[in-house]
């Protein structure tokens, strides 16, 4: 479908996309294993099936751009500079994590110096946060953009409406990425809304909305690129609905036996990483050696991250009451 | 020093802080050319323009969320909630996001939320509420409730310069009721410092907001009966100046806590608990509360008068406490 657009992207960049998606998958798998071994005091969300969305969009950001992610955007964190070690440390509840053990898994996985805003559970708070970052860009007349993500589930929350409308009215340089993975925990999409494409709601706000294949990283990238250009050009926000299926449970504890096996089987064939890898192979852009190199690089970085996190000390109980307020 | 009303003092503080710091901006419903429902933001739009005086659609959730994001980017948003009652529609961005962020991952979130608060104006159940206790239960939020024009200016300036989220409740009953000398220059009154509004020896009336002038009036009445009341104005509930409260109670040995908010789980319960725990030995009577009853705020004058504490009711309760 997006063969033409793929040709315009330098081979190096394509391999970079594959690398980030593979790293996301490897860390996701490793997290599941660590969870099952009891190495995480709390739970961990699954990422499988979302790699093309988070990587294909975040890869376009430049230094100074901001990102307000949700819980399926591990790829976006990685691309924006959050190290695997800090990500594992967060799930393990260690000092070396961005929250120093105060917040769980990808929640609160923020770093202002990277312009990554740590999210709260309450979906879709990140939409308002991204809008605020975008307003700061307008305020300071900076040529920057903010990217935010929310799910089909969160799209039913009232805040989603408010944020889209306010962003539209302000012509804020923000891109809204709706990850429609067809489920909100156990609730299927047909119990959440009556429309085929959630992106049609954009029309009600007077902004462009588009639905794309969320398993196709090139499509995600090219669509997001247009939206970012619009935002930087002063034309305001865009709503991009990326359709996919969550290929695992909501979180590592969830066997997701509520997903019809047929549906799962169909979408497993559209695993975003396999799809992209095959395309690269078929176009002669990826050979066995390069793939093996990527695999071992991803493996090494993941294991180094786990080691780094395990070496990170537990937080001191004596620090419990510190930092509720900022002193200066 | 010019005489200013409470609302004029708020307005002056906003003008001066926006002049001083390019990062300060205000946002909310009707705050722009219209100058706000109570004219707190009058003249700002003309001076600072649309970028820094942002009229928003009706969407507290989104515009407080916007303020959170902007604050973390180093701006200093001052949000106006048209009436404090409507703050509930923007609850999550305040109590979930703003309150927890610094603790969770270290980002500073310097935000001020101003809200015309409280009753006494026959404004009915949805334009009269006092919901400070909701926010006092959320670690990470500061809560300021000034009772005079002088404090309104000095505490608002402190709130704007504070690196944390601050909920700033303005007793709208006082907006135009009193004028007092307010210095033209800027000054920051510290958060977390209560004020002794009147010294006394027999009883401490501990209160805040629009109940401060009521307590002072009651103290005046009681002094004619040779009952000497001390009036403690908390000014900020978080941080709470426990020392001033406890010192006062230790001196007088009786405590009457007064607030306009309803009784159950109100902030007065917290103050009473602190006094009981930390100054029990000094007490000659149990700490007493005078509050609104546990009902919505009624509209009609006889009902609202019965609902809201005032100088007469404070005097009655104080006499009982003295006789205990
Ligand atoms: C306001 C709110 N209500 C409930 C929850 C609990 N919860 C966490 S994730 C989730 C489902 C989210 O679905 P969706 O937005 O589609 O994202 P997905 O998990 O499918 O990626 C729910 C209900 C929440 N986080 N926030
Ligand atoms: Mg979903």
Residue B287 falls inside a structural domain: yes
Q: What is the pLDDT of residues B4-63, one digit of tens each?
A: 999 999 999 999 999 999 999 999 999 999 999 999 999 999 999 999 999 999 999 999
Residue B186 falls inside a structural domain: no
Q: What is the pLDDT of residues B262-305, one digit of tens each?
A: 999 999 999 999 999 999 999 999 999 999 999 999 999 999 99
- What DSSP line would sit under B48-66, residue for residue? HHHHHEEE--S-HHHHHHH
The answer to whether the CB of A123 is under 6 A from ligand 1 is yes
Please confirm, yes or no, whether B127 is among the known catalytic residues.
yes
Helical segments of B73-228, H only? 91-92, 99-105, 132-136, 149-161, 211-223
| End residue of a domain, out of B181, B206, B222 | B181
| B147 and B257 part of one domain | no
Contact B65 A132 (CB under 8 A): yes
- Domain containing B77 equals 3-181
Q: What is the pLDDT of residues B150-168, one digit of tens each?
A: 999 999 999 999 999 999 9
| B24 and B171 part of one domain | yes
| B129 and B249 part of one domain | no
| B38 and B159 part of one domain | yes
- What DSSP line would sit under B43-109, residue for residue? THHHHHHHHHEEE--S-HHHHHHHHHHHHHTT-EEEEE-SSGGGGGGGHHIIIIIIHHHHHHH----
Q: Which domains does chain A have, with CATH numbers?
A: 3-316 (3.40.50.970)
Q: What is the CATH number of the domain that holds B75?
A: 3.40.50.970
| B166 and B213 part of one domain | no
Residue B126 falls inside a structural domain: yes
Q: What is the pLDDT of residues B190-248, one digit of tens each?
A: 999 999 999 999 999 999 999 999 999 999 999 999 999 999 999 999 999 999 999 99
| B309 and B232 part of one domain | yes
Residue B187 falls inside a structural domain: no
The answer to whether the CB of A121 is under 6 A from ligand 1 is yes
- Of A99, A139, A163, which is closest to B62 when you measure between CB atoms? A163
Residue B189 falls inside a structural domain: no
How far, in Å, CA of A147 to CA of B106, rounded?
21
Q: What is the CATH number of the domain that holds B298?
A: 3.40.50.920
- B chain contacts of residue A136, beta-carbon cutoff 8 Å: 69-70, 73-75
Contact B59 A162 (CB under 8 A): yes
- A chain contacts of residue B61, beta-carbon cutoff 8 Å: 128, 158-159, 162-163
| B33 and B173 part of one domain | yes
| B287 and B221 part of one domain | yes
The answer to whether the CB of A152 is under 6 A from ligand 1 is yes
How far, in Å, CA of B310 to CA of B214, rounded?
5
Q: What is the pLDDT of residues A265-308, one digit of tens each?
A: 999 999 999 999 999 999 999 999 999 999 999 999 999 999 99
| B69 and B205 part of one domain | no
The answer to whether the CB of A181 is under 6 A from ligand 1 is yes
| End residue of a domain, out of B181, B209, B229 | B181
Contact B104 A112 (CB under 8 A): no
- The region, left, alpha or beta by phi > 0 then psi within -120 to 50, assigned to residue A144 is beta
The answer to whether the CB of A49 is under 6 A from ligand 1 is no
The residue whose CB lies within 8 Å of the most ligand 1 atoms, and thus the one to mutate among A73, A149, A153, is: A153
Q: What is the Å distance from ligand 1's center to A149 Cα?
A: 12
Residue B190 falls inside a structural domain: no
Number of domains observed in the structure of chain B: 2
| Gap from A100 CA to chain B (nearest CA, Å) | 7
Residue B250 falls inside a structural domain: yes
Q: What is the pLDDT of residues B27-36, one digit of tens each?
A: 999 999 999 9
Residue A155 CA, closest ligand 1 atom number: 15
What global pTM score does this model have? 0.98
> So what's the pLDDT on residue B282?
98
Burial letters A38-64, b for 16+ CB under 10 A, else e: ebbeeebbbbbbbbbbbbbbbbbbeee
- B chain contacts of residue A159, beta-carbon cutoff 8 Å: 61-62, 65, 92
| End residue of a domain, out of B159, B181, B203 | B181
| B46 and B166 part of one domain | yes
| B11 and B140 part of one domain | yes
DSSP B113: E
Q: Is the pLDDT of residue A1 over 60?
A: no
Measured between CB atoms, does A113 come within 8 Å of chain B? Answer: no
Name the token pair of A59: 């890869």
> So what's the pLDDT on residue A2?
55
ipTM score: 0.97
* Sequence-separated (6 or more) residues with CB below 8 Å from residue A152: A178, A179, A180, A181, A182, A183, A184, A189, A192, A193, A198
Contact A128 B61 (CB under 8 A): yes
| B115 and B237 part of one domain | no
> So what's the pLDDT on residue B1?
79
């Amino acid at each position: 479908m997006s063969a033409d657009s793929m040709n315009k992207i330098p081979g190096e960049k394509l391999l970079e996309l594959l690398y980030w998606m593979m790293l996301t998958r490897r860390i996701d798998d490793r997290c599941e294993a660590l969870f099952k071994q009891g190495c995480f005091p709390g739970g961990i969300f699954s990422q499988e099936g979302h790699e093309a969305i988070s990587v294909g969009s975040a890869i376009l950001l430049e230094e100074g751009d901001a990102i307000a992610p949700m819980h399926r955007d591990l790829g976006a964190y990685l691309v924006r500079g959050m190290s695997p070690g800090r990500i594992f440390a967060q799930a393990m509840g260690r000092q070396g994590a961005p929250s120093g053990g105060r917040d769980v898994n990808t929640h609160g996985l923020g770093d202002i110096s990277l312009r990554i805003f740590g999210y709260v559970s309450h979906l879709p708070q990140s939409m308002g946060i991204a809008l605020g970052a975008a307003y700061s860009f307008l305020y300071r007349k900076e040529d920057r953009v903010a990217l935010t993500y929310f799910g089909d589930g969160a799209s039913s929350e009232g805040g989603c409406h408010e944020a889209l409308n306010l962003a539209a009215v302000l012509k804020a340089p923000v891109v809204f990425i709706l990850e429609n993975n067809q489920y909100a925990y156990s609730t299927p999409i047909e119990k959440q809304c009556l429309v085929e494409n959630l992106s049609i709601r954009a029309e009600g706000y007077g902004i462009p909305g588009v639905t794309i294949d969320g398993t196709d990283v090139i499509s995600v990238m090219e669509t997001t690129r247009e939206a970012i250009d619009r935002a930087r050009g002063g034309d305001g926000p865009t709503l991009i609905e990326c359709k996919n299926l969550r290929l695992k449970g909501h979180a590592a504890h969830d066997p997701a036996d509520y997903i019809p096996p047929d549906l799962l089987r169909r979408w497993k064939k559209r695993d975003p990483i396999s799809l992209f890898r095959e395309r690269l192979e078929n176009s002669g852009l990826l050979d066995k050696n390069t793939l093996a190199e990527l695999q071992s690089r991803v493996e090494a970085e993941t294991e180094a991250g786990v080691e780094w996190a395990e070496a990170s000390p537990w937080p001191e109980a004596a620090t419990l009451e510190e930092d509720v307020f900022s002193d200066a | 020093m010019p005489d200013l009303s409470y609302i004029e003092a708020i307005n002056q503080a906003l003008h001066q802080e926006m002049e001083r710091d390019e990062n300060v901006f205000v946002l909310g419903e009707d705050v722009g050319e219209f100058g706000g429902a109570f004219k707190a933001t009058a003249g700002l739009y003309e001076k600072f323009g649309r970028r820094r005086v942002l009229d928003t659609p009706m969407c507290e959730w989104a515009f407080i969320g916007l303020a959170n994001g902007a604050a973390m980017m180093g701006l200093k948003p001052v949000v106006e909630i048209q009436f404090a009652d409507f703050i509930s529609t923007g609850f999550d961005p305040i109590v979930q996001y703003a309150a927890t962020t610094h603790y969770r991952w270290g980002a500073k979130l310097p935000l001020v939320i101003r809200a015309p608060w409280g009753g006494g104006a026959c404004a009915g159940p949805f334009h009269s509420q006092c919901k400070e206790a909701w926010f006092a239960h959320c670690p990470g939020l500061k809560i300021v409730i000034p009772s005079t024009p002088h404090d309104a200016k000095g505490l608002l300036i402190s709130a704007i310069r504070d690196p944390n989220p601050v909920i700033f409740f303005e007793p709208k009953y006082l907006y135009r009721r009193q004028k007092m000398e307010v210095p033209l220059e800027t000054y920051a009154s510290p958060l977390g410092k209560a004020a002794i509004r009147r010294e006394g020896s027999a009883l401490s009336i501990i209160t805040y907001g629009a109940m401060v002038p009521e307590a002072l009036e009651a103290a005046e009445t009681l002094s004619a009966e040779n009952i000497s009341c001390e009036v403690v104005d908390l000014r900020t509930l978080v941080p709470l100046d426990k020392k001033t409260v406890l010192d006062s109670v230790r001196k007088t040995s009786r405590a009457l806590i007064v607030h306009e908010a309803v009784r159950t789980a109100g902030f007065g319960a917290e103050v009473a608990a602190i006094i009981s725990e930390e100054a029990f030995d000094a007490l000659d009577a149990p700490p007493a509360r005078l509050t609104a009853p546990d009902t919505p705020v009624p509209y009609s004058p006889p009902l609202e008068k019965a609902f809201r504490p005032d100088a007469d009711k404070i005097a009655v309760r104080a006499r009982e406490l003295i006789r205990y």
